[in-house]
Amino acid sequence: MFFNRHKAEPPQDAGGGSGDRPAVGGPRLVEEETAFLIPQSEWKQLAVRLDGLEALEARVRKLEAEADAGWAALRSRTRSEMGEWADRVERRMRGFDTRLRDTLAGLGPLGDRLTELTGRHEEVDERTLALASTVADTRRLLDELGEVLDLVRVAQVEERTDLTREDFLVHYDLAGRLKALYTQRMPDLIQPRLAAERPRDVVRRQAELIRRLCLALFGPEEHDGAGDPDLDELTRITTDDGRVGLDQQHQRLLERVGAEASNLSRAMNESGYASRFDFSVEPGIAADPREHALWLSCEAGRPVAFVVCPGYRAADRRLLEPFVFTESGGEG
């Protein structure tokens, strides 16, 4: 409870009196019973504190009013934002609902298509099973035919007294190596000489040089290739009697061709069975793919000009046809 400053005045000193003599008029009596006699200095301090409490009370009321206004604004803004958020959610939900209905509407044709594809898949499965059964039957038939063919081959080999099955396969391997020598290594070997000569008809000149290589390696034609390989003649033909130089690659190839020809001749002679090279094709006869191997760019039915590479025969079996070069369309 605050004191009422208007009901009591601060006490007054005697002011001008001296000694024990009371002031003029005597002490002033307090008219109200509630007044206290408080020194003036303490009264001033109390008044300052009372003013501070009133200012603090006004500040608290102002803060409470500001807080109430802030809460009201916050509640209003929150209600507005919640309303906007609810509107957005509602719009999105309506969009989802529309897309869902569209999707469900599209599932009908898709289900029909899926049913159709399932039916087709089942048909394919049935056809696959039937085809697998047919393939299995065909494989069994081929296996049976292969067994019969093997028996026929065995019977053919057994009928010969000078050739066993193993020997026959060995000669086929030799024929394969001989063909690789004709068609791969010899054409590469004479490339330096062809490059130096620059002939007008490169294909014919290549065939002529390879024919000479074959004669040097597999014996004179009149002896049906019974002689040993002439490696010196091989070098002379390749280098044009030393006028064409060979790089390291072609020098190694020359040595390889000579070694391969020597190995083939030795293996053929050591097989124990009669084998020979066949140069005997009459010039001018029509080239026949059933009897001859046609050289590059040559045509069946054209007249044979010469044998490029000899055929190979073992135990009277033809294992490799002779390679022939035919005349061009404007000749013969």
pLDDT digits (tens, 9 = 90+) for 171-206: 888 889 999 999 999 999 999 999 999 999 999 999
Q: Which two tokens stand for residue 61?
A: 């009321």
Chain centroid offset of residue 272 CA? 55
Amino acid symbol at 221: E
Report the C-alpha gap between 235 and 134 in whole angstroms. Answer: 59
pLDDT digits (tens, 9 = 90+) for 266-320: 888 887 778 889 898 999 999 999 999 999 889 999 999 999 999 998 888 888 9
pLDDT digits (tens, 9 = 90+) for 199-235: 999 999 999 999 999 999 986 544 444 568 999 999 9
pLDDT digits (tens, 9 = 90+) for 61-70: 888 888 888 8
DSSP 8-state symbol, 286: B
Q: Which residue has the higher pLDDT, 160 or 236?
A: 236
Mean model confidence pLDDT for the chain: 80
Report the C-alpha gap between 303 and 332 in whole angstroms. Answer: 7
Please determine, for residue 1, whether its predicted confidence score (pLDDT) is greater than 70.
no
Q: Torsion angle, CA of 193/239/278/296, rounded to 10 degrees?
A: -10
* pLDDT grade for 121, boundaries at 50, 70 and 90: confident
Per-residue model confidence (pLDDT) at position 221: 46
In the three-class reduction of DSSP (H, G, I as helix; E, B as strand; rest coil), residue 311 is classed as: strand
Report the C-alpha gap between 185 and 221 in whole angstroms. Answer: 21
Residue 307: partners with Cβ closer than 8 Å, 6 or more residues away: 211, 279, 281, 322, 323, 324, 325
Contact 326, 302 (CB under 8 A): yes
b/e code 196-205 from CB counts within 10 Å (16+ = b): eeeeeeeebb
Least confident residue range of 2-11, 51-60, 205-214 = 2-11
Closest residue by Cα to residue 256 from 233, 227, 225, 234: 234
CA distances from 306 to 185, 250, 327 (A): 20, 27, 9
User: Hey, CA dihedral for 18, 22, 26, 31, is it positive or negative?
Assistant: positive
Q: Which residue has the higher pLDDT, 153 or 305?
A: 305
